[in-house]
Amino acid sequence: MRLHRNLVDAVVDGFLQINNDGLYADKVIERLLKRDKRWGSKDRAFIAETLYELIRYKRLYTEIAQEKAPFTVQSTRRVFAVWAVLRGITLPEWYFEGTPERRIKGRFDALSKERAVRESVPDWLDALGVKELGEEVWTRELHALNQQAQVVLRVNTLKTDKAALQAQLSKEGYETAPLEGLPDALQLEKRANVFLSEAFKQGLFELQDAASQRVAPLLLGDWTPAQGSLKVADCCAGAGGKTLHLASLMGGKGKIVAMDIYQQKLDELSRRAKRNGAFNIETRPVEAKYLKRQRGSFDKVLIDAPCSGLGVLRRNPDTKWKLTPEFLDQIRSTQAQILEQYSQLVKDGGQLVYATCSVLPSENQQQVQRFLQSAAGQRFTLVEEHQIWATEGYDGFYMAKLVKNEK
User: CA triplet 146, 29, 42: central angle to 5 degrees?
Assistant: 85
Helix %, strand %, coil % for the chain, to 5? 50, 15, 35
**Secondary element (H or E) of residue 248:** helix 241-249
Give, to the nearest 10 degrees, the angle between helix 58-65 and helix 101-111.
Answer: 130
With the C-alpha atoms ordered 92, 96, 99, 104, is the resulting torsion angle positive or negative? negative
The Cα–Cα gap between 122 and 59 comes to 8
How buried is 163 (Cβ within 10 angstroms: 0-12 exposed, 13-18 middle, 19+ buried)?
exposed
What single string gives the DSSP state of each residue in 30-91? HHHTTS-TT--HHHHHHHHHHHHHHHHTHHHHHHHHT--SSP-HHHHHHHHHHHHHHTTPPP
Catalytic (active site) residue 357: yes
User: What is the separation of C-alpha 21 from the centre of its chain, rounded to a whole number of angstroms?
Assistant: 22
Beta strand 380-388 with 231-234 is: unpaired
Q: Do residues 175 and 207 touch, judged by C-beta distance below 8 A?
A: no
Amino acid identity at 40 = G
Q: CB of 352 within 8 A of CB of 343?
A: yes
Q: Which of 206, 296, 219 is nearest to 250 (CA)?
A: 219
Phi then psi dihedrals of residue 197, to 5 deg: -75, 150
Helix (H) or strand (E) holding 15: helix 5-20
- Catalytic, out of 235, 236, 307, 357: 357
Burial 240-261 (b: 16+ CB within 10 A, else e): bbbbbbbbbbbebebebbbbbe
Sheet holding 255-260, edge to edge: 281-285, 255-260, 231-234, 298-304, 346-356, 397-404, 380-388
SS3 call for 148: coil
Task: Name 181's Cβ contacts closer than 8 Å, sequence gap at least 6.
Answer: none
Q: Which residues are catalytic?
A: 357
